[in-house]
Amino acid sequence: MKSFILKFILLLFSLFFISSIHAQETKIMIRAKAKDAKFIGSSIGGAEIVVKNAETQEILAKGLTTGSTGNTEIIMEKPHQRKPNLSDEETAGFLAKINLEKPTFLTIEAKAPINAKQAKVMSSTQLWAIPEKDILGDGVVLEIPGFVVDILSPQRHNIYEKNTEIEIKSNIVMMCGCPITPDGIWNADDYEVKAILSKENKTIKEIEMKYDGKPNTFSGKINENPGLYEITVFAYDANTGNTGVDKTNIIIN
């Protein structure tokens, strides 16, 4: 009996050893880049990256992109050529290290910005990974469209008296956290920002929101009759199709 157990253990060890010999580490650099902007990194919480075997759905690697948003001049100002990288050693990314025994078809997903739940978007792609054939440099770049919109005021479920002027103020940034200012690289004048005021699931009005003098900040005002109101603030760029939304609710007595 002991001899049988010993042989069984040796067999398992041999199978594991043979498997480990055939499995080869393959490195894939994965980055998330905001549409019309820079890379998504540590400054906004990063992008969650998941690498799966496309056939079995087994998760092979998982983590967050970390690092900087990248070089503004290279990414946003210089003409892009065929081969030069947009990234450098400091640019945010996640280096997946995967043990492969054979060419494997992968699904790669990015969810970002991970800390902005109302703005989080998933982007994905698929590709073949070959054992020991690394994909580095810019690597696999997933585009994340949109804006991060955060309503600063009114605070959720605030109660106001009738005939009170209420300020609607929002912070709006690119998905990488890049700033929006008049005449900046991300020009505040290029974006349509409005608040939609709803009552009993019906739209009451739209309020145009203007740049408020502070980077990323837009504001408008309302003065309404008593009721329960929902406020939806949206940002829209007609040139790129980027959109972003946040919502809150208030009470007017």
- Inside any domain, residue 212: yes
- Cα gap 57→160, rounded to integer Å: 51
Other beta carbons within 10 angstroms of residue 196's beta carbon come to 16
One DSSP character per residue, 173-211 reads EETT----BTTSSSBGGGSEEEEEEEETTEEEEEEE-EE
**Residue type for 46, please?**
G
Q: Identity (one letter) of the amino acid at 119? A: A
Beta bridge mates, 46: none
In a domain, 12, yes or no: no
Same-domain status, 184 and 93: no
- In the listed set 144, 170, 198, which residue is the last one of a domain according to the structure? 144
Query: Is residue 152 domain-shared with residue 134, that is, in the same domain?
Result: no
What is the reported pLDDT for 18?
47
pTM of the model: 0.88
Residue 26's pLDDT band (boundaries 50, 70, 90)?
A: very high
On whether residue 8 sits in a domain, the answer given is: no
- The whole-angstrom separation of Cα 139 and Cα 132 is 15
Q: Establish if 228 belongs to a structural domain.
A: yes
Same domain, 57 and 154: no
Residue 188 maps to which CATH number? 2.60.40.10
Q: Could you give the number of structural domains in the chain?
A: 2
Q: What is the mean pLDDT of residues 29-58?
A: 98
30, 131: one domain: yes
Position 133 in a domain: yes
* Residue 237 belongs to a domain: yes
Contacts of 72 (CB under 8 A, 6+ apart): 38, 185
Question: 101 lies in which domain range?
Answer: 24-144
Asked if the structure places residue 124 within a domain, the reply is yes
Q: What DSSP line would sit under 35-61, residue for residue?
A: TTS-B--GGGT--EEEEEETTT--EEE
Q: Give the model confidence (pLDDT) of 186-215 as tens digits.
A: 999 999 999 999 999 999 999 999 999 999
pLDDT in tens, 140-178: 999 999 999 999 999 999 999 999 999 999 999 999 999
Residue 99 sits in the same domain as residue 181? no
- 135 and 63 in a single domain? The answer is yes
Write out the two tokens for 96: 């997946």
Is the domain of 53 the same as that of 72? yes
For 49-81, write each residue's pLDDT tens digit: 999 999 999 999 999 999 999 999 999 998 888
Mean per-residue pLDDT, 43-50: 98
pLDDT of residue 12: 54
Residue 6 inside a domain? The answer is no
Structure tokens at 235: 């940002």
Residues 211-241 pLDDT 10s: 999 999 999 999 999 999 999 999 999 999 9
Q: Is the peptide bond before 113 cis (omega within 30 degrees of 0)?
A: yes
